[in-house]
Structure 1
Amino acid sequence: MSASPATHASPFINALLGEDKSTLLLKLVEGLDTSALNWLSGYTAGLAVRAPQATVVPVTPAPVASPAVPFTIIYGTQTGNSRLLAERLKHQVESAGLATRLFRASDYPVRELAKEKLLCVVISTQGDGDPPDDARGFCEFILGKRAPRVEGLRYAVLGLGDSSYPRFCEVGRLLDVRFAELGASRLLERADCDVDFEPVAKGWLDQAFTLAREALTPQATVTATVVPLREPHAAPAFTKEAPYTAEVLLNQRITARGALKDVRHLELSLAGSGLEYAPGDALGVWPHNPPELVASFLSELRLDGEAAVTREGRTLPLARWLSDELEITKLNRPFLERHARLSGSAALREVLEPSRAESFRALLAGHQVIDVLRAHKATWDATELVQALRRLTPRLYSIASSSKRVGEEAHLTVAVVDYTAFDLRHFGAASYHLATRTAGTDTVRVFIEPNERFRLPEDGDKDVLMIGPGTGVAPFRAFVQERAETGAKGRNWLFFGEQHFRTQFLYQTEWQEALKKQTLHRLSLAFSRDRAQKVYVQHRLRESGRDVYEWLEGGAHLYVCGDAQRMAPDVHEALVDVVSTHGGKSREDAHAWLESLREQRRYLRDVY
């Protein structure tokens, strides 16, 4: 049945649009049914959200009624994917004219949980079952004894993770179960998204939106909202889905030729792109798989690279799928399970048993897809292979520059993965792709990935402690540049570590120059292989414990970047020792004290 708009514009519409545009509007919408009108409403609301505000005469009518019960969306993220999906759902709900609230997990007032009626949580799992840093407090509250009963709540949980880890999407699973234990009812079943999250996430978000709209619409009372007129404006030009093609300006090895590690400093041009970033942000890089690896795949499986294969409505030659579209370096559980069935390998099936978690982790850490194909023979056809492999995903690199110093450029610090094992050369998809780009000739597809949880203090007088061994030092190069360019008065102290002083002291001359200029005030170094007894950054923290504690007690901000599996936990334990020893606290109180720094956003980590 068609909706019947009034044949004459109301004085309100005439005042807002003018008589001519009001008449045109009525002609355009005449005869449209309800669903079409709803779509048009959402479409124009979306334009209003994306566009910059134009100068208009404000019109402020009296509200018809109070807003409806809101749909609350909470996200916890380490790399930004959960935030991206949560924002997407929020825009869908808002476009339907429904009330919604969006919170980062660390910002959500947990005491309001008992009042919630409709809730969605989008949350990732880090490593082997840990919540992202910005959701630790939220998860502890929900999973702990202080969480209230929530019988009136309807909820939905979307988990993100990496199936390479045994506790895949563990945090989402725990929250889903816990909300049910607290008396809430599910709006829809939980979904668990792998690294290639889009196929699952899109369908789930659409379901969540539909069910939320059904839940909210019957009790919603219309509120008159006047949206100021806006000029048509395109969405941001370059995103993860539509990356910018950046010219490579410099590709320089910054470890000595004798070093075991090949670490590169790359400078990419963002000129004319409009892309902006802040210190702490990451650059997303869309790689291509190495041609040598693609050739090994085709040879091992005896497949024709020119064979046309269709997936998700796209038809490409098999070699193109393997080169540009699919993940062919990193192993993951779904692919291994499928290969175990095809190969009939008892050894592979055994490693996939839940009780063999350590063996499974060792397999993932020490092998690539090609190793499994060679060790456990199976017959794959081209279509089956393309369907089984995960889609290639971008890699994130901490930006190693301040735009205040380098202008429209972004600098990266890249450890190149290129080694021989099992008589076969192995590569890292993105690092090898970057390392083989030629300055002045080649380009890289990139986008900016904001990291709001890794920001310098707004107060430039605050001191900053930075712990970044290896390529974890990258964002701190940006930090020191930014602090120098803005004239920040606070002190800067960097802890850096690597294997050898002579061959792997990354950015050595820059740090020495910064020390001379007093834009870097202290530099603590740990080179683990230069002496019989290995020394790491956590040892230097303990050695300087008194000063470290004094800085923190005095309001300094603490940052850690680098390896999440060993370095970050070891550094945290060293910090507990420092606070306990020099702050006169028990270990339990030291843990709590450091947790309070997290809550104040004075202890921030970017670990991977």
Structure 2
Amino acid sequence: MQSTAKAGPSHESVVTNGNGNGGAKSTPPTQRTALILYGSETGNAADLAAELASLTTRLHFRTTCQDLDSVSLRDLLKPTLIIFVVSTTGQGEFPQNARLFWRRLCSSALKAASLRKVRFVSFGLGDSSYPRYNVAHRMLCARMLQLGAGEVFERGEGNEQHPEGHSAGFREWIVGLREKIMQSFPLAEGVTPIADDVFLEPEWKLELATTDGTNGVMEGNVLPLRVANGHKSEPSSAAFSSKLDGTTGVVPNEDILPVKGAFTARLLSNKRLTAPDHFQDVRLLDLQLEEPYDYYPGAVAVVYPKNFPADVQDFIDLMKWQNFADKPLNVISTASKQLSPSPLRHLDLTHTHLTLRWLLENVLDIMSIPRRSFFASLAHFVGTATEDEAYQRERLLELANPELIDELWDYTTRPKRTILEVMMDFTMLKIPFEYVLTVLPMIKGRQFSIASGGAQRLDEGGSSMRVELLVAIADPPSPIIKYRRRYGVCTRYISSLQPGQQITIGLQPGYLDVKAEEMSVPILMIGPGTGVAPMRSMIHQRLAWARSMGLRTAGKRLEGDVLLFGCRSESADYFFKDEWHDLVEREGLTVWTAFSRPQTSTNAGVAGATDGDRTATRKQYVQDKIHEHASRVHEMLVKQNGKVYVCGSSGNMPKSVREAIADVFVECGASMAREQAEAYVDVMERDGRYKQETW
């Protein structure tokens, strides 16, 4: 396939083997090395790490990009420069793929000057609605400095609560980082950075396999992914997906996605819980696991979505890949010495017939909103021979320019424009299929808090594990693009799933860390909307613990525990209403409800709950109920040493809840000042008595 990319030095010709410690003196390109390390829970930090790897490569560093747990502390002593990109998750914890590294870094055997030769810089991703905002990143920086490492440039931080997300802070920070690297690690005389318009050959690319099923003759290291022991699976294509969905046409294929370490689950039911005329579609998914997995409250399931065949075919047609979209491919390494792992390393492709269509259906996120780096990559594949080509290339460079923030925001984020729609605009552009693993982002698994617990974790026969998920289907309107509906990539996939279908899910313990020892104290569970999912799991698990441990008498096994639930109205989206009614009557659970769009009712809330029978006529939010029941909240948390769990949407809700609880301490405490009340909440958090999980 012909490419319009500008000729330029390939990756291996730009940087070669060698080490260097950096410094004020210029370092020859053959000795400059950069190690980009990321800790990522959902993939955002990994995306930024890839962008930083491109930056250092253009500055003539031989670059390696890996997750933190893939390296040892000894590896930190080798590179000229280390760049960390770390997300903060849960209650200020490190992501799953960074925890081992953090434990190693905190070893008491390390001396104060152990890392004195290391020079590093770091960027953190966090959410300011959490009290421990970006704390994992800050702890990492502090520990590196404590061990003698030198910080080349001030640390940067991105905030998910910013209107443009974490990318706003990153765009500003990376501009300053580039300037600082140029000053701290000057290039040798006569050597200049590789220009942004020069194409860098990626370490990994695709190549068509030979028609007889054997590997073709290729340069570099070949990673065979297509054939194992002579077995070939049939290609996945739109032709094999005949099942229809009323709103979206042909649905994604039902093949099991071969994610390493994941579980296969059979869908028992996919039930809508919200009223048919309600604006939001919220589903309760009931899944049966084929393998045992013992989970507890706070655990999360990771759903791996797929793209719809019609969208995949549109993309293939736009790129003019029709003639080879279903032909077998190999993934090859182009580097003489492999630096970064394969982009498909998370998949077991031993028995997969790898094709472009399979990748577009299962791996490549063509329905996501593109990042700035995407446009920077596209600019290499459009020429300037015609006026239209020149215009489109100029436009791509504008969208890739980190200084033109508003341009990117107005074109992508504000209208929620997808990559597929971008390619419809840039008609002169054709991506060479060899580079799709580098140019197109990967589909990320989406995390959902598990809503089942206790006895609900087993099927009726007690032989198989079950997992229930409460999922709000994302169908956001676009103020600009009217002709094509907006969808959440994962929730659109979830809405198409049918009972009996098998899907791939990941399972993780989560961060709430709920234990049976907590049964000795009452808990206040605050979960508006779908935030009630982990609270439901917790309620049923505490009920099971009370029964098995004989801690409380029958009829009082949930006495003292309070669920505070908020939603729009009792009739539209009051999830598990009958279930709460039953637990109130049978086991003494207390339920407080807050309706932000109340309807006149003679039975507002749950019958038998503390709220009682009354008429609901005014808007209420969960923080209002905390004030309303101030004395009970104070007794639970101060006198009885109880615990608080807050789950749901991030943003104003968690902050308002925290402020309301501090208000209660001031109102009901013995001469407790506001500063003391806020300090008491901080102590609760440090002691594990105040936990938050929001999204």
TM-score w.r.t. length of structure 1: 0.63
Residues 454 and 542 in structure 2, CA contact (< 8 A), matched pair in contact too: no
Q: Name which of 401, 409, 412 aligns with 1:360.
A: 409
What secondary structure, in the 3-state scheme, does the structure 2 residue paired with 1:252 have? strand
Matches within 5 A, 1:118-197: 118=115, 125-127=124-126, 133=132, 136=135, 139=138, 150=146, 152=148, 165-166=166-167
Partner SS for 2:520: coil
Deviation at 1:102, TM superposition (A): 6.5
**Are residue 507 (structure 1) and residue 576 (structure 2) matched?**
yes
* Pairing partner for 1:574 from 652, 656, 660: 660
Q: In the TM superposition, what are the counterparts of 1:217-228 in structure 2 within 5 Å?
A: none
How much does 1:552 deviate? 1.6
**What is the CA RMSD across the aligned residues, in angstroms?**
4.8
Check the 8 A contact 1:124/1:132 in 2, yes or no: no
Give deviations 1:114-133, integer Å, cap 9, x for gaps.
Answer: 85735999998444678894
- Counterpart residue identity of residue 397, structure 1: F
- 1:481: Cα distance to partner? 0.5
Residue 429 of structure 2, aligned match among 359, 370, 379: 379
**1:281–1:449 CA contact under 8 A, matched in 2:** yes
Q: 1:492 to 1:328 in 2, by over 3 A?
A: farther
Gap change, CA 1:602 and 1:380, over 3 Å in 2 = farther
CA deviation after TM superposition for structure 1 residue 524, in Å: 2.5
Q: Which runs of 5+ in 1 are unaligned?
A: 1-69, 91-99, 177-198, 201-237
CA shift for structure 1 position 362: 9.5
8 Å CA contact 2:127–2:134 kept in 1: the answer is no
Match of 1:270 among 289, 308, 311: 289
* Cα distance change, pair 368–493 in 1 and its aligned pair in 2 (3 A): farther
In 2, Cα distance between equivalents of 1:471 and 1:533 = 22
Answer whether contact 1:310 1:316 (CA < 8 A) is retained. yes
CA deviation after TM superposition for structure 1 residue 409, in Å: 0.7
Letter in 2 for 1:597: M
1:30 aligned partner: none
Letter in 2 for 1:436: S
1:484-510: CA deviation from partner (whole Å, max 9, x where unpaired): 111165622112222232121111111
- 1:549·1:582 contact (CA, 8 Å) conserved in 2? yes
1:534 Cα deviation from its structure 2 partner = 4.5
Q: What is the match of residue 680 of structure 2?
A: 593
The whole-number CA distance in structure 1 between the counterparts of 2:674 and 2:366 is: 45
Residues 123, 398 of structure 1: alpha-carbon distance in 2 compared, 3 angstrom cutoff:
farther
8 Å Cα contact 2:289-2:466 kept in structure 1: yes
Match of 2:488 in 1: 428
The question of 1:297 aligning with 2:310 is answered: no
Residue 486 of structure 1 aligns with which residue? 545
Find the aligned partners of 1:251 and 1:436 in 2 and give their Cα distance.
9
Query: Who is 2:300 aligned against?
Result: 282
1:398 aligns with 2:453: no
> Displaced runs of 4+ in structure 1, greater than 6 A?
70-76, 119-124, 129-132, 140-143, 154-163
Kept in 1, the 8 Å contact 2:129–2:650? The answer is: no
Bigger Cα displacement from structure 2, 305-314 vs 581-590:
305-314
The code of the aligned residue for 1:333 comes to R
1:465-544 alignment to 2 at 5 Å? 465-487=524-546, 489=552, 491-528=560-597, 530=599, 534-544=619-629
Residues 277 and 403 in structure 1, CA contact (< 8 A), matched pair in contact too:
no
- Stretch of structure 1 that moved more, 543-552 or 467-476: 543-552
TM-score (norm 2): 0.56
Q: Which amino acid aligns with 2:451?
A: A
Give the corresponding residue for 1:328: 366
Q: Which amino acid aligns with 1:275?
A: Y
The alpha-carbon distance between structure 1 residues 485 and 164, as it changes in their structure 2 partners (threshold 3 A), is same
Contact 1:345 1:376 in 2 (8 A): no
Secondary structure, counterpart of 1:546 in structure 2: helix
Greater mean alpha carbon deviation, residues 134-143 or residues 493-502 = 134-143
**Is the Cα contact below 8 Å between 1:78 and 1:124 reproduced in 2?**
no
For 1:449 and 1:122, the matched residues in 2 are separated by 30
In the TM superposition, residue 399 of structure 1 has moved relative to its aligned partner by 0.7
Q: What is the distance in 1 between the residues matched to 2:88 and 2:544?
A: 30
Please list the CA deviations of residues 516-553 of structure 1 after superposition, one character each: whole Å capped at 9, or x if unmatched. 12352232322336599753222322333333233221
Structure (1/2) with the larger helix percentage: 1
C-alpha distance in 2 between matches for 1:471 and 1:277: 19
* Distance in structure 1 (CA, Å) of the matches to 2:293 and 2:597: 38
- Matched-pair contact (CA < 8 Å) for 2:304–2:504: yes
Listed one character per residue, the Cα deviations across residues 437-481 of structure 1 (whole Å, up to 9, x for unaligned) are 2112x1110121112444256230211111111111111110110
1:318 counterpart = 2:337: no
Helix, strand or coil: the match of 1:117? coil
**Offset at 1:372?**
3.7
Change (3 A) 1:513 1:541: same
- 1:166 touches 1:354 (CA, 8 Å); kept in 2? no
- Is the 2:451–2:535 contact (alpha carbons within 8 Å) kept by the matching residues of 1? yes
355-364 or 291-300: bigger deviation: 355-364
Distance (Å, rounded) in 2 between the aligned partners of 1:130 and 1:139: 17
Aligned runs of 1:11-160 on 2, under 5 Å?
77-78=88-89, 82-87=94-99, 89=101, 101=104, 115=112, 117-118=114-115, 125-127=124-126, 133=132, 136=135, 139=138, 150=146, 152=148
Shift of residue 578, structure 1, vs aligned partner: 3.3
Structure 2: runs of 5 or more not aligned: 1-72, 77-83, 178-201, 204-256, 333-343, 345-352, 383-391, 459-464, 553-558, 600-615
Paired residues of 2:454 and 2:543 also in contact (CA < 8 A): no
Structure 1 stretch 279-288 or stretch 589-598: which is displaced more? Answer: 589-598
- Secondary structure at the counterpart of residue 424 of structure 1: coil
SS at match of 1:601: coil
Check whether the contact 1:401–1:481 (CA below 8 A) recurs between aligned residues.
yes
Q: Is the 1:270–1:409 contact (alpha carbons within 8 Å) kept by the matching residues of 2?
A: yes
Partner of 1:548: 633
In structure 2, the partner of 1:6 is: none
Identity of aligned residues (%): 24
1:89–1:114 Cα change, 3 Å: closer
Q: For residues 81-129 of structure 1, give each alpha carbon's deviation from its aligned partner in whole angstroms, at most 9, with x where no partner exists.
A: 9443335558xxxxxxxxx7466xxxx99xx998573599999844467
Which deviates the most, 502-511 or 293-302? 293-302
Distance (Å, rounded) in 2 between the aligned partners of 1:399 and 1:593: 30
1:301, distance to aligned residue in structure 2 (A)? 5.0
Equivalent residue of 1:425, what SS? coil
Task: Give the residue type in structure 2 aligned to 1:550.
Answer: E
Distance in 2 between residues matched to 1:365 and 1:371, nearest whole Å:
14
